[in-house]
Amino acid sequence: MKNLIDIKQLSKNQILDIFQTADEISKNSKKKNRQLLKGKIVANLFFENSTRTLISFELAAKKLGAHVINVNIDTSSTSKGETLRDTIKTLEAMDIDAFIVRHSENKICDEIQSWLKPKTVLINAGDGNNQHPTQALLDVYTMLKYKSDLSEQKITIIGDIKHSRVANSLIDCLNIIGNTNTNIFGPEQLLPELLQNVTVCNSIEQALDNADIIVMLRIQKERMKLQNIPNLEEYHNNFGLNRKNLSHANQGCIVMHPGPINRDVEISSEIAYNSPSVILEQVKNGVTIRMAVLAKLLSKKF
């Protein structure tokens, strides 16, 4: 693995290997981890807002001993008309070892990759509604902490699937891992036209019935035309997760959400950060998984 652009570039063994690296790194002493990327320079280039991904990549790189540059797009020369290509080439000339890029344009990382020198690493931190590979890795890593074998677990993803790079990359990752029981549910206008190897449910009860893992997604207003945005109260009544409809799920089920959450829209406040929600566990695992990915791509030791 030279770059991480799309989860589909990884085999099941490569994914499990990243998880093993994450376990190993989390057992290491802080001092040992700080040696892994000593002297490396990592640049975060986020053209879309972020809390979890940006901060966890920064923390992950720092915990491995790298220097981190967070490029502020608003104060950069992008506002003077510099192209993305020229910005990237300028930073690369300053000996940046790795770029972590979030952008609204689907597949922009394929282009960026073609501009970079072979030794420069590129990680996709989310492109349009296409891919968010490290989110898929941290989601499946978290699932495996609670359910040792995911092959037949009923995994249900509910919400705005159509505009969600999280859903796309998670479904791809579950296909690679070998889960055969992935279900989706949401308003018709927020479901994709084509998705392979998933069951589309007709009601929230069907989606939640005997579910082992429930993944709730927010409505991605930023990727929608205004007229497609549902009424939020109505949305919560028909598609939101609450204590009452959660009772359809299996005992021992877990509730996940990539964040940011919209309380009492897709998930009720009483579930948000309370059992069986593992949302904050996902956040924590995000740092470990990103440490593992950075170590795999930049350290000779992995």
Among residues 20, 51, 104, 180, the one that binds ligand CP under rule CB under 6 A:
51
Cβ proximity of 127 and 3 under 8 Å: no
Whichever of 36 and 100 has its CB closer to ligand CP, that residue is: 100
Q: How far is the CB of 54 from ligand CP (least distance, A)?
A: 6
210 binds ligand CP (CB under 6 A): no
Among residues 90, 210, 260, 269, the one that binds ligand CP under rule CB under 6 A:
260
Place of tokens 């690679």: 176
Selected range binding ligand CP among 9-17, 22-30, 255-263, 272-280, rule: CB under 6 A:
255-263
State the binding string over 85-124 for ligand CP (x if CB under 6 A, else -).
----------------------------------------
Tokens of 72: 């502020």
52 binds ligand CP (CB under 6 A): yes
Among residues 26, 50, 87, 206, the one that binds ligand CP under rule CB under 6 A:
50
Cβ proximity of 141 and 152 under 8 Å: no
Kindly state the number of chain residues that form the binding site for ligand CP, as judged by CB under 6 A.
9
Give the 3-state secondary structure of 1-68: CCCECCHHHCCHHHHHHHHHHHHHHHHCCHHHHHHHCCCCEEEEEECCCCCHHHHHHHHHHHHCCCEE
53 binds ligand CP (CB under 6 A): yes
59 binds ligand CP (CB under 6 A): no
Selected range binding ligand CP among 26-34, 46-54, 150-158, 217-225, rule: CB under 6 A:
46-54
128 binds ligand CP (CB under 6 A): no
Among residues 135, 142, 169, 277, the one that binds ligand CP under rule CB under 6 A:
135
286 by Cβ neighbours in 10 Å (0-12 / 13-18 / 19+) ranks as buried
Whichever of 108 and 201 has its CB closer to ligand CP, that residue is: 108
Nearest 5°: the CA angle 109, 110, 114 is 105
Whichever of 36 and 166 has its CB closer to ligand CP, that residue is: 166
Q: How far is the CB of 189 from ligand CP (least distance, A)?
A: 23
Whichever of 243 and 280 has its CB closer to ligand CP, that residue is: 280
Task: Identify whether 260 is preceded by a cis peptide bond (ω within 30 of 0).
Answer: yes
What distance, in Å, lies between the first and last C-alpha atoms of the chain?
Answer: 11
Q: Where are the alpha helices (DSSP H) in 164-217?
A: 165-177, 204-208
Q: How far is the CB of 165 from ligand CP (least distance, A)?
A: 8
Q: How far is CA 101 from CA 33, 52, 73, 146, 151, in A?
A: 24, 14, 11, 30, 32
- What does the alpha-carbon distance between residue 179 and residue 210 come to, in Å, rounded to a whole number? 16
Residues forming beta bridges with residue 122, ordered by sequence position = 99
Among residues 259, 263, 276, 302, the one that binds ligand CP under rule CB under 6 A:
259
- What does the alpha-carbon distance between residue 73 and residue 77 come to, in Å, rounded to a whole number? 8
Binding residues for ligand CP, per CB under 6 A?
50-53, 126, 135, 258-260
